[in-house]
Amino acid sequence: MNILSTSRIADADKLKKEIDAYRPLPANALKQLQEYYRIGLTYTSNALEGNTLTETETKIVLEDGLTIGGKSLRDHLEAIGHSNAYTFMLQIAGKDTVTESDILNLHKLFYYTIDPTNGGIYRQKKVFLSGTDLVFPDPGKVPGLMKDFCDALPAMDKQHHPIEYAALAHIQFVTIHPFIDGNGRTARLLMNLILLQHGFTIAIIPPVLRRDYLVSLQHSNHGDNTPFINLLSHVVYEGEKDYLRMLKE
C-alpha cells in the first residue's frame, strides 16, 4: 500500500473509539505510556534530522543520565532538549488552542541546551535547505507570518479533521521556517500537540519513513498537501494499533 496515496483517517477514527473506551487510564498506566512515547518520539524526531543516538542510547541518556561514548555532545543535548519540550507539550495538551507563546516555548525548551541565544527566538538570518528549491521568507517577515499563522489555527481546527489540521499546521510552520534551526522537530511537536488536544495518540514518524516524509513535504511545497496528510494518517493509525496493544497487555 502506498502510504502517500491512501488515507487511513477513517481507520484511525475507529481505533480512537476503541482507545476512548479505556479512558480515563489509571495514573500509573498513563505515566508509563507517556515515558514510552518520550523515548520513541525523541529518538525518531532527532534521527530524522541526523542525530546518531539509537533508541536504546536515547533511553540511557534520558533515563540514566549517562553519556554515550563516541557520540557528539550535540547528539546528547538534542535528546535532553527534546525531552524537555516533550514534557511541556504534555503539560499544555489539555488546552483547546495553540498560541504563539506555546510554539516559542516548545522551541526554546528544545534548543536552549544547544544554543541559548537563539532558543525561542525568531531567526535573524536567511536560511536555506539543501536538496530543495523552496525559498523561505526573509527574516523581517517571520514575526508577522507567525502571528498570522497562529491567528489562523482556530479556524483551521474548525474546518478540518484533527489529523488534517495537525498535518496542515506542520506544513505551514515549516514553510515559514521561523527559527535558525530546530524547525522540523518543533513542527513535529506542534503536530503532536494538536493530535493530543483532540484525543489522538502520539504520531511517531520512524527513520525508515524519512524518504516518504521528505517527498510528501516536497509535494506540499508545490501546493499538494494530500500526500503529507495521508502519511500522517498512516502514522497515527499504526501508532494507535501499538497503543491498543499496550493497553490490552
Which of 19, 216, 180 is closest to 191 using CA atoms?
216
Angle between helices 226-248 and 27-47 (to 10 degrees): 140
Q: In which element (H, E) is residue 21 found?
A: none
Task: Specify the 3-state DSSP secondary structure of 135.
Answer: coil
In which residue are the cell numbers 483551521 written?
Answer: 156
**Catalytic site residue from 161, 177, 198, 234:** 177
Give the amino acid at 192. N
Instruction: Say how many C-beta atoms besides its own lie within 10 A of residue 114's C-beta.
Output: 16
Residues in the chain: 249
198 is catalytic: no
Q: In the 8-state DSSP scheme, what is residue 64? A: I
In which residue are the cell numbers 502506498 written?
Answer: 2
Distances (CA, A) of 211 to 48, 99, 203, 231: 10, 31, 17, 11
* Residues identified as active-site: 177
